[in-house]
């Protein structure tokens, strides 16, 4: 089975892909293209999956760079393929041939590019990292590498959509206490529950940075189990673990 790669016209001119779960070597609950080394899947199989992704992106497996994602606002500048994997949630580079890879399973994978300047970025943005400023921090980190703020495009890939992202009243209240402007991203759901619009929240934060363009591919990870892994769906189905999707961009 071939790999399922979603691309965006907004990122035309730079090689990128939001990968689905098709075409991988994993089995069981990880069936397909599980790229998460932090999962309990067999390490050699995950490495094989990642090698397939690297090949699809036209780079060696060693040139597919990631970070130890911790839901922070920290950004790493990647200067070569030997860059270590620190605790961070975003990466930027202006070096051709390096592929930046972000893992998700409901959180937002966000790919950034200033094509003319030759600067790219990738961010893992769940609700916590988005609220903490990881998207703004990624844009800020691209500027010293030569990017122009008003020439940066950002695309949010497959993520959980509002209609299936149910949260409690305490979550909503605490969220709004930290960011009062976020109230508009919650709508009433079941009694005592709310539906949170994570990609809407992400887009609003991106647009406030003054970048050229921000969009979402409008794919929901929870709603399409054949195509995407989903942490929340796995939790609801009481499965032991879940696969991780990968989203990649390179110059």
The CATH number given to whatever domain includes residue 52 is 3.60.140.10
Three-class DSSP category at 244: coil
pLDDT above 80 for 179:
yes
The two beta strands, 213-216 and 153-156, are parallel
pLDDT band at 82 (very low <50, low <70, confident <90, very high): confident
The two tokens of residue 223 are 């709603």
pLDDT above 90 for 237:
yes
pLDDT band at 241 (very low <50, low <70, confident <90, very high): very high
Instruction: Count the neighbouring beta carbons within 10 Å of the beta carbon of residue 118.
Output: 16
Range of the domain at 148: 7-161+197-250
pLDDT band at 10 (very low <50, low <70, confident <90, very high): very high
Task: Report yes or no on 189 lying in a domain.
Answer: no
The two beta strands, 15-19 and 90-93, are unpaired
Task: Report yes or no on 80 lying in a domain.
Answer: yes
Mean per-residue pLDDT, 243-250: 98
Task: Report yes or no on 24 lying in a domain.
Answer: yes
Task: Report yes or no on 73 lying in a domain.
Answer: yes
Task: Report yes or no on 94 lying in a domain.
Answer: yes
Mean per-residue pLDDT, 167-189: 95
Look at residues 88, 91, 81 and name the one whose alpha carbon lies nearest to residue 61.
Answer: 81
User: How many domains does the chain contain in total?
Assistant: 1
Task: Report yes or no on 61 lying in a domain.
Answer: yes
Alpha-carbon separation of residue 218 from 7, 158, 200, 205, 215 (angstroms): 12, 7, 10, 17, 9
Please tell me the distance from the alpha carbon of residue 66 to that of residue 62, in angstroms, as a whole number. 10
End-to-end CA distance of the chain: 27
């Amino acid at each position: 089975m071939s790999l399922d790669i979603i691309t965006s016209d907004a990122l035309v001119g730079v090689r990128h892909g939001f990968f689905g779960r098709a075409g991988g070597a994993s089995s069981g609950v990880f069936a397909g293209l599980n790229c998460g080394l932090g999962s309990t899947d067999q390490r050699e199989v995950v490495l094989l999956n990642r090698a397939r992704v690297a090949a699809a992106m036209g780079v060696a497996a060693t040139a597919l760079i990631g970070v130890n994602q911790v839901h922070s606002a920290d950004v790493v500048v990647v200067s070569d393929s030997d860059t270590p994997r620190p605790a961070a949630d975003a990466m930027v580079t202006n070096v051709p041939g390096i592929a930046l890879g972000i893992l998700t399973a409901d959180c937002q994978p966000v790919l950034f590019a200033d094509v003319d300047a030759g600067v790219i970025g990738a961010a893992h943005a769940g609700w916590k990292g988005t609220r903490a400023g990881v998207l703004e921090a990624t844009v800020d980190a691209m500027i010293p590498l030569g990017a122009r703020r008003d020439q940066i495009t950002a695309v949010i890939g497959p993520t959980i959509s509002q209609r299936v992202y149910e949260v409690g009243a305490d979550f909503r209240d605490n969220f709004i206490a930290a960011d009062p402007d976020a109230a508009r991203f919650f709508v009433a759901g079941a009694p005592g529950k709310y539906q949170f619009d994570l990609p809407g929240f992400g887009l609003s934060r991106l647009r406030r940075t003054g970048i050229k363009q921000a969009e979402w591919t409008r794919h929901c990870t929870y709603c399409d189990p054949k195509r995407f892994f989903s942490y929340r769906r796995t939790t609801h189905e009481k499965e032991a673990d879940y696969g991780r999707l990968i989203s990649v961009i390179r110059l």
